[in-house]
Amino acid sequence: MPVIAVIGAQWGDEGKGKVVDLLAQEASLVVRFSGGDNAGHTVVNPCGKFGLHLVPSGIFSPHTVCIIGNGVVINPSVLIGEMDQLDRCGVATTRLFISDRANLIMPYHILLDGLEEESRGEKALGTTRKGIGPAFADKVARLGIRAGDLLDKDMLLERLRSVLDYKNTILTKVYGVSPLSLDEVYSQYCQYGERLGPHIRETVIMLEEALNRDELVLLEGAQGALLDPDFGTYPYTTSSSPLAGGGCLGAGLGPTRINRVVGVFKSYCTRVGSGPMPTELKDETGDLIRERAHEYGTTTGRPRRCGWFDAVVARFSNQINGFTGAAITRLDILDVFPRLKICVGYKLDGRTIDYFPANVAAVERCQPVYEEVAGWQTPTSHIREYEQLPLEARQYIARLEELISCPANLISVGQAREQTIHKTPIL
């Protein structure tokens, strides 16, 4: 019963969507387990090019069942829009199921995400303003409304009435904005319930059945390890755990059932939003990476901050995820550079350190210590066999494997599904 977790190993946008789309061809079930529509997973395959926010990237594999797990917060309007778009493109969403335990994003979450960001002024977190933080806060405060509540209109009304009363007090008394209408929100969510109802299930049972049948199951992560609320650059993080451990909680299986954990790494680093990123390049090299790679957010269109591969981050990410292998993406972006840098430590207040500090102010002060390696300056996006990569590219990969401390299973050299080199088997 192999279960493979596909995990973002840096600050998100590593190419998880591409890797899941590729592996899903062999899988019977794919479960998205965290985040919400703050995620943007780009998939390029024979069906076309798609930017998925909530629907698992396994949806293009015709025999694969896709589940939006209990660990995801769902904006029903975004999900319906995404399903409609897939249907229009001939991608069936009849195999898509939603955990009845998944919390819903409500209109006040989106309003509050924006208002809270405004009130932070210069200290804004740079959230996607999709209501993610407020929705997860309500989940743990036990104020959430869940997908399963849409199936019982009386319960939905009762729940909404008490929560909305409280939220309207905050909207009007704290932020001085207009309250939301109970009737409008209720009737809107009743409509969502009618559309999504047939897809809402007790998905843990579906997962258990697939495991008992010994089928391949993928857990699709969102965001990346350094955005984890415990281990990331807190408070500049997201609000649910993107780690492999989050996969257990957000899909509904025990840790002993995960057989492989594949960390998805870009061959350099990017970050979108605020917060420290020690290898960020605010120069023409950073601009060149951004333009070559078209590093603009799938969800918000914001330019991504770009920099060299950070092996301190990579080692830390492995420590907190337990990677059995890595998928190294976007190698082709580095094709033009005569020299490449890899950050192997930080200088912090006059000392050299090799760990990632917990304190965000300390991370801000970290100066990268680089080792330099030769680039290959030749195109790689047409290559499918590892041995055919230029020597310098193989040396670069070998050095990353050594620094991350796990083998590379996959090397990606382009957006398309087939632009992938299978270096070592995952299973």
Phi/psi at 408 (nearest 5 deg)? Answer: -85, 120
- Measured from the CB atom, the residue of 241 and 380 that comes closer to ligand IMO is 241
Footprint on residues 205-244 left by ligand IMO (CB under 6 A): 222-224, 227, 238-239
Residue 13 annotated to the active site: yes
Phi/psi at 244 (nearest 5 deg)? Answer: -55, -40
The option from ligand GDP, Mg ion, ligand IMO, none interacting with 70 (CB < 5 to 8 A, set by class) reads none
How far CA 97 is from CA of 1, 69, 198, 202, 360, in Å, comes to 21, 9, 8, 9, 38
Using the rule CB under 6 A, which residue among 25, 42, 85, 191 binds ligand GDP? 42
Cα 184 to Cα 103: distance, rounded to the nearest angstrom: 20
The active-site residue out of 21, 37, 41, 149 is 41
Q: Any idea which residue has 């904006």 for tokens?
A: 75
Give the interface segment with ligand GDP, choosing from 109-117, 138-146, 387-395, 406-414 (CB under 6 A).
406-414
413 binds ligand GDP (CB under 6 A): yes
State the sign of the Cα–Cα–Cα–Cα dihedral 67, 72, 76, 81: negative
345 binds ligand IMO (CB under 6 A): no
Using the rule CB under 6 A, which residue among 6, 15, 59, 400 binds ligand GDP? 15
Using the rule CB under 6 A, which residue among 7, 10, 14, 66 binds ligand GDP? 14
- The DSSP 8-state label assigned to residue 296 in this structure reads B
Residue 87 annotated to the active site: no
DSSP string, 11-44: SS-SSHHHHHHHHHTT-SEEEE-S--TT--EEEE
Footprint on residues 35-54 left by Mg ion (CB under 5 A): 40
The option from ligand GDP, ligand IMO, Mg ion, none interacting with 333 (CB < 5 to 8 A, set by class) reads ligand GDP
Residues 112-141: x where in contact with ligand IMO by CB under 6 A, - otherwise, as a string: -------------xxxx-x-xx--------
State the sign of the Cα–Cα–Cα–Cα dihedral 103, 107, 112, 115: positive
- DSSP β-bridge partners for residue 306: 270
CB 15 within 8 A of CB 266: yes
Give the interface segment with ligand GDP, choosing from 84-92, 329-337, 350-358, 386-394 (CB under 6 A).
329-337
The length of the chain is: 427
* 3-state SS, residue 378: coil
Residues 59-98: x where in contact with ligand IMO by CB under 6 A, - otherwise, as a string: ----------------------------------------
Cα 388 to Cα 378: distance, rounded to the nearest angstrom: 12
Cα 29 to Cα 218: distance, rounded to the nearest angstrom: 6
Q: Would you please indicate which residues are annotated as catalytic (active-site) residues? A: 13, 41
Residues of this chain that interact with ligand IMO (CB under 6 A) are: 8, 12-13, 35, 38-41, 125-128, 130, 132-133, 222-224, 227, 238-239, 272-273
Residues of this chain that interact with ligand GDP (CB under 6 A) are: 8, 12-18, 39-42, 44, 293, 298, 329-330, 332-333, 412-415
